[in-house]
A and B are shown apart, each in its own frame.
Chain A
Amino acid sequence: MAENLSVKHLLGIKHLTLDDIQLIFKTADHFKEVINRPIKKIPSLRDITIVNLFFENSTRTRISFELAERRLSADIINFSASQSSVSKGETLIDTVKNILAMKVDMVVMRHPNPGAAVFLSKHINASIVNAGDGAHEHPTQALLDAYTIREKYGDVKGKKIAIIGDVLHSRVALSNIFCLNKLGAEVTVCGPATLIPQYIQELGVKVNHNLKETLNWCDVAMLLRIQLERQGVNFIPSLREYAMTFGVNLDTLNKIERPITIMHPGPINRGVELSSDAADSKHSLILTQVENGVAIRMAIIYLLAGNITISNFS
């Protein structure tokens, strides 16, 4: 196994090698042990400053990153676009360059535009962690999903994973497809034809529009949120109809003969893609995903920070 990441930034799963992913998982194993100790903080990153730049709303990801950074003893600055000079018309590069001028070492960024993190990496020196860029990638979510599957089944290789729902608008789906493919899982996407991108088979996945068939095939069903805020036109006739055709409830799950695991990146539209009884059932790994999210993010930040050179001492 590699002793170091092949990348300076985490922009997307697309840019990672299999060795990188395995190294992140192995490191996360140790951080999972750390976050279950009586004292959950370690001093490794005490001379690192990280800015969390959120140009889009977030609860889970933001708290998870913040906890991961604090547990590593990094100094952190939180920034949300709505309360900043972005609303006065400042450009992304200007905003970031000004922050970096105050000696910040790492940027965690969520942005509504696909490619924002890649764009930024071409203009600044600091390490960048993509916390979601539009409908493009959400690499930390994919890593924590695959890590959770690995934890439950011992290995991701050969597992049958279904990604169900609004694949068209989902950065989680795209990152997961890249990640699961690299780890050797079989992936099927499922949803109404309007919400499955054309030519998605080119990425090495199968498409099935039948929920029942898909659920009977898979070991793990990853459900995606219907992203109402990203839909300019109506892709589905109504939420009620979607819930009836593609919604998963406990009754559906109990009818499946083989064991099945349910995952969801959150936030859940309860009663739409997933009913409450299914979300809170024994099949669900949703809260494990959240716990693992902190360990995975600690591992990524730790591994990226290890490459930041110390300038002030020399």
Chain B
Amino acid sequence: MQPKIIVSTPLFEIIINRLCQQLIENHNRFEESVIIGLQPKGIHLANRLTKRLQQILNVSIIPSGKLDLTFYRDDFRRRDEILIPNATEINVVLENKRVILVDDVLYTGRSVRAGMDALLAFGRPKDVELLVLIDRRFSRHLPIQANYIGKMVDTIVSEKVKVEWKEKEGEDRIILYSKSDK
């Protein structure tokens, strides 16, 4: 199967703007809320969202952080290679805050489960929501759903969804390809 571009600019930008507006609807000016990007791939989305929110709300800081979930994964010792972590940077107090976990693709739900466990090591948030750019529905292994969704995609196991970023790959787009293409 040829790789298929499912989202590119300007739709990509429209989706980001819509997600920001939905966040503002629920979190006002983010006085009590924190955006936490899940390492490694949720970070680009979290950065893009905070930057856009700063412009829309005209504020200098949207509280945010990076969370690595490696040590909380359920597949340690179940893979051939060892799980190497990424950096965690949370310099805001999460106790009693409203946390929005951000990831690029929601697939089996296992990463988000690990992310929620990892998050609780930093205190007890008031509530936790989930924002994803792509929801690969019908492929969940755990009962986890997102509160904010960029786009829903129907996929089969042999397919893979990749989000590319202007900052990293040079262009904003979302590509669907089968694992054998790689």
Contact of A44 with B82 at beta-carbon distance under 8 Å, contacts A30-B88, A39-B120 already known: no
Q: At the interface, yes or no: B117 with Cβ under 8 Å from chain A?
A: yes
0/1 string, A17-41, CB within 8 A of B gives 1 = 0000001001101100110011101
Size class of the contact patch on chain B = 20 to 34
Stretch at the interface among A82-90, A284-292, A306-314: A306-314
Closest to A40 in B: B121
Contact indicator B76/A3 (Cβ below 8 Å)? no
**Once the chains bind, are B72 and A43 in contact (CB under 8 Å)?**
yes
Q: Are B122 and A4 within 8 A (Cβ)?
A: no
Instruction: Report A210 CB to chain B, min CB distance, Å.
Output: 44
List residues 67-82 of chain B with CB under 8 A from any CB of chain A. 68, 70-72, 76-78, 81-82
Which residues of chain B in 60-117 are interfacial with respect to chain A, using CB atoms and an 8 Å cutoff? Answer: 68, 70-72, 76-78, 81-88, 117
Interface size class of A (residues with CB under 8 A): 20 to 34
Bound complex: CA A33 to CA B88 (Å): 8
Return the contact of A303 from the options B72, B82, B88, B121 (Cβ within 8 A).
B82
Instruction: Fill in one digit per residue for B117-148: 1 if any A CB lies within 8 Å of its CB, else 0.
Output: 10011110000000000000000000000000
* Chain A positions 260-314 with a Cβ under 8 Å from a chain B Cβ: 303, 305-310
Chain A residues, Cβ within 8 Å of B82: 3-5, 303, 306-307
A305 and B77 in contact (CB under 8 A), knowing A3-B84, A33-B87? Answer: yes
B118 — nearest CB in chain A belongs to which residue? A42
On whether the beta carbons of B87 and A306 are closer than 8 Å, the reply is no
A306 and B77: CB pair below 8 A?
yes
A34 lies within 8 A of B71 (CB): yes
Q: Which residues of A contact B (CB under 8 A)?
A: 3-5, 23, 26-27, 29-30, 33-34, 37-39, 41-45, 47, 303, 305-310
What 5 A-B pairs are tightest by C-beta distance, nearest first?
Answer: A306-B82, A42-B71, A39-B121, A30-B85, A44-B71
